[in-house]
Structure 1
């Protein structure tokens, strides 16, 4: 049994706490725990350090993130009740999301994926707008994530808007993310609470949410549509934030709603890591009919998709540029 006056080595402390020595080093690196040092420089843990470590381990066992634990400890225990309430809300949201995913998987297994045009055998079937020549575009199935990409001036934004119009109860979120979002937050505190929960999730991943990310999250939560089509999802986000956003979107963190993401960033669309729950739509530069591209080398359109994607640094150099602007009213 542990005696309160003992000073333990890192291995002994880890064993008593039921964690690994690596976990203790992580807590130390993140500033949560500061062990004492022996004359030889070895880490040792006295009664005070062990008490603090037990608090950390207890909160981690509740699933609380390291960043959130740091906030609780920095406040000296004050606000613990509020932190636990926020954490409970986050867990409830995750549970709801996982329930929706399970239901979607069950529906997919029964062949019940949503079909807007069953007579035509496609989830989406529409007549392409200008600059196409009125050809039809068919999307076989609406998956949780669909990427829309293509070179500059290829018409992908027009296609995205047309898709949003063709799908019942779908909405297009343009680059003016906050249009109407502030009013929605003010009139519905639950929306604001969800936004705050999302942003805390990013903070827990070590991401300090920039204004562009906050605006995107608020725009999504302000919209009640069942399907969202989002223009240039990477707008204003750096490489690390884009990668965190991609992970977050793939986790179906916004109520399990299908998302169509316009992108030209390789941090958002990684052709080597596209799951069966994701689709790619490619708009050719010559305004040929858009195609659904299989995420495998050698597939039709795969190389074209790869060549029109770029890192955030390259994208920043071409931001706002277009290849051609039509002279029409």
Structure 2
């Protein structure tokens, strides 16, 4: 090795690339990056490996699936055009939004120069965003009517808690209270997902969006299934401004759950807020969360729900970590409840 070349361990490489160590390991497993080895056999990333990994990270940031990234790196650049077109559209949308905001600021400044104060509501509207939305409501049973305040929304919001903690009731309240929200429950799986199939047959635009999402997910390692298609019908529908999804992992294996989360994260901060009810660690991956994601935890003792910061040692973190489990464990224990024999009299 050239002594002047800087070599990184996998954790250092991931930090410099701005991705998780888990993501970097996934790129290795799919053959997208190939680290070198030290004399002792440790994996290491030199200049060429870091350059290759940076290409992968950039392509992933454009929304390409792992399969599409592999094709681009092998010289098939045709799948790059739609991704770049979508990225351009996003940038142009941000430019239009910023131009509108700048014009509103210019108008307020012009009014101030003439001695006119801003109209009531001008400044809040200027600074308003989905993340600024704050709503308070009284909690239903099994709580005692305590007031729950929903803070600023992230693009991904998780609701979790042990069995019987009231998380589904909280989710229904969120769907009823949040403006333009809808609830997507387990009934989407009824009758072999017949309702979802009928909706796809009746809406060509929705069918096209679902098919594109399915192709991307399969390229990411997901398995096609009626359960995944039914979930995507709800996720890709544009009828609701905010969507609350119960049992999001129902019917999905672990690779599909992981691919689904990669799909939802690539939407970015400006996407429609989602509330995902889950107890799967593949959906609520504490190590993969970013700044646009929040956790609402419902304690077993029916204390009011609380926000949990995804860092060890923060209030509620250990409770969340012990509440969620891998898809394999969740499938093995589905429907099981704790049982304690009745005490016998002396």
Tell me, yes or no, if structure 1 residue 112 matches structure 2 residue 128. Answer: yes
1:176-191 alignment, distance < 5 Å: 176-177=187-188, 178=193, 180-191=195-206
Is 2:278 aligned against 1:244? no
Match of 1:155 among 163, 166, 169: 166
Report if aligned partners of 1:280, 1:294 keep a CA contact under 8 Å in 2.
Answer: yes
Alignment of 1:25-44 (within 5 A): none
Q: Deviations over 1:227-260 (max 9, x none)?
A: 0000011111111111111111111289821100
1:262 pairs with 2:273: no
1:293 alignment counterpart: 308
- Distance (Å, rounded) in 1 between the aligned partners of 2:66 and 2:293: 31
Contact 1:114 1:123 (8 Å CA) reproduced: no
The SS at the match of 2:183 is strand
State whether residues 241 and 272 of structure 2, in contact with CA within 8 Å, keep that contact through their aligned partners in structure 1: yes
Indicate yes or no: 2:238 matched with 1:220: no
2:183 to 161, 172, 175: 172
Q: Distance in 2 between matches of 1:104 and 1:263?
A: 34
- For the 8 Å contact 1:153–1:323, the answer to whether it is kept is no
> Which residue of structure 1 aligns with residue 8 of structure 2?
none
Q: Is the 8 A contact 1:113 1:142 kept in 2?
A: no
What's 2:297 paired with? 282
Alpha-carbon offset, residue 294 of structure 1: 1.1
1:297, CA displacement in angstroms? 1.4
Deviation string for 1:206-233 (max 9, x for gaps)? 3332222111101222351010000011
CA contact (8 A) 1:173 1:230 kept: yes
Equivalent position of 2:324 in the other structure = 309
Distance change >3 Å, CA 153–CA 99, structure 1 → 2: farther
Give the total of aligned pairs: 249
For residues 167 and 80 of structure 2, the distance between their equivalents in structure 1, rounded to whole angstroms, comes to: 39
Shift of 1:319: 2.0
Kindly indicate whether the alpha-carbon contact (under 8 Å) linking 1:146 and 1:280 is maintained by their aligned counterparts in 2: yes
| Structure 2, unpaired ranges of 5+ | 1-27, 33-58, 72-77, 102-125, 340-346
Q: Distance in 1 between matches of 2:209 and 2:158?
A: 25
Aligned-residue RMSD, C-alpha: 3.8
Q: 2:136 aligns with which of 110, 118, 125?
A: 125
TM-score by length of 2: 0.61
Note the alpha carbon deviations across 1:13-36, whole angstroms, 9 max, x for none.
xxxxxxxxxxxxx9xx99xxxxxx
User: Which whole-Å deviations, capped at 9, do the CAs of 1:249-307 have from their partners, x for residues lacking one?
Assistant: 11128982110001101111122222110000000001110001111111111110000
Shift of 1:113: 2.9
Classify 1:312/1:286 alpha carbon distance in 2 versus 1 (closer, same or farther; 3 Å): same
Secondary structure of 1:176's aligned partner: helix
Q: How many Å separate the matches in 1 of 2:252 and 2:331? A: 10
CA shift for structure 1 position 127: 0.9
The TM-score normalised by the length of structure 1 is 0.64
Counterparts of 1:247 and 1:102, CA distance in 2: 26
The alpha-carbon deviation at position 99 of structure 1 amounts to: 6.0
